[in-house]
Amino acid sequence: MADWPDYELIDFGTDGLGRGRRLERFGTLVLDRPCPAADGVTKQRPDAWAAAVARYDGARATDGVWKPAPKKWAPAAACRVPIGQGLTLGLTPTPAGQIGIFPEQFINWRWMYDRLNRYERPLRVLNLFGYTGGSTLAAAAAGAQVTHVDASKPSVQLARDNAERSGMAAAPIRWIVEDAAAYCQRELKRASFYDAVILDPPSYGHGPKGEAWRLERDLPRLLELCRDLTAASRCLFLATCHTPGIGPAELSAYLSDAIVGDCSAPPASGRLWLSTPEGRRLESGVFARWPS
């Protein structure tokens, strides 16, 4: 991306085994990772793939391995994100092939920062399924008071590490390890309300006490809770999704059903894309956000 010097989608396409992959640069590191959205696509820069520092392979996303091992290349690796005065996100390779940074969210981080920065007072922002904190830090950089919620204690620690890397260890952020719906229900009982909600729910998951999450079953109720938590002073609502079968229209409908009765206009929605320097686009999820 021309406006994000530390990140580049170099190429994407099918490898010799017929599997979609993507080649990306984070800071100075080039990584080769699986990418189902690139299945059946022809690579345009085949010679560039030899520059990869590490490659993730596996029959399934949960049983692969990084080669070489992350301890040889990941420690101290970080990616600078030009939001506000600048954020720094560390690379945290996982056994599932993730690295703790989701570059398709950059457009949302920038939109969120610009929106929140317009208010003279610091808004209260609730970030559900906050993972490694990119959205939390973008909101805090705009002056918001953020509550970061994730069911995974290690993920919340990674987000706190990213806050420290970004010089935001003292920012007004509350770090909560909890099931998203359970936390929202308790906040309603406490009459603890918010101005904005951000959420990037997974297709499936479990809370810290084994609470099962199924997006198509549980998202409508969670959005209703978020609606009630923001009823008095709603300023911003952002949802993103990577669940197969849920496109922009479906995600927008989820938000509309929950909040459109209280809003002056329906949410905007669309697809998230990553682009190579040559302009090739790789689909990377969907978004719905209000106001448009």
* Complete DSSP assignment for 236-265: EEEEEE--TT--HHHHHHHHHHHHGGGSSS
Return the pLDDT at 213: 82
Cβ atoms of 148 and 176 within 8 Å: the answer is yes
- From start to end of 27-129, where are the E strands? 29-34, 54-57, 65-67, 78-81, 87-90, 124-128
Residue 80 token pair = 């600078």
Out of 2.60.40, 3.30.70, 2.20.28, 1.10.3470, select the CATH number for domain 7-76: 2.60.40
Say yes or no: do domains 7-76 and 102-290 share a fold.
no
CA proximity to 201, closest of 170, 238, 232: 238
Tens of pLDDT along the chain (292 residues)?
Answer: 669 999 999 999 999 888 999 999 999 999 999 999 999 999 999 999 999 999 999 765 567 899 999 999 999 899 999 999 999 999 999 888 899 999 999 999 999 999 999 999 999 999 999 999 999 999 999 999 999 999 999 999 999 999 999 999 999 999 999 999 999 999 999 999 999 999 999 888 877 777 788 888 999 999 999 999 999 999 999 999 999 889 999 999 999 988 866 556 789 999 999 999 999 999 999 999 998 7
Domain-by-domain residue ranges, the chain? 7-76, 102-290
Q: Which CATH superfamily groups domain 102-290?
A: Vaccinia Virus protein VP39 (3.40.50.150)
Q: Cα separations (Å) of 262 from 190, 227, 292?
A: 22, 9, 15
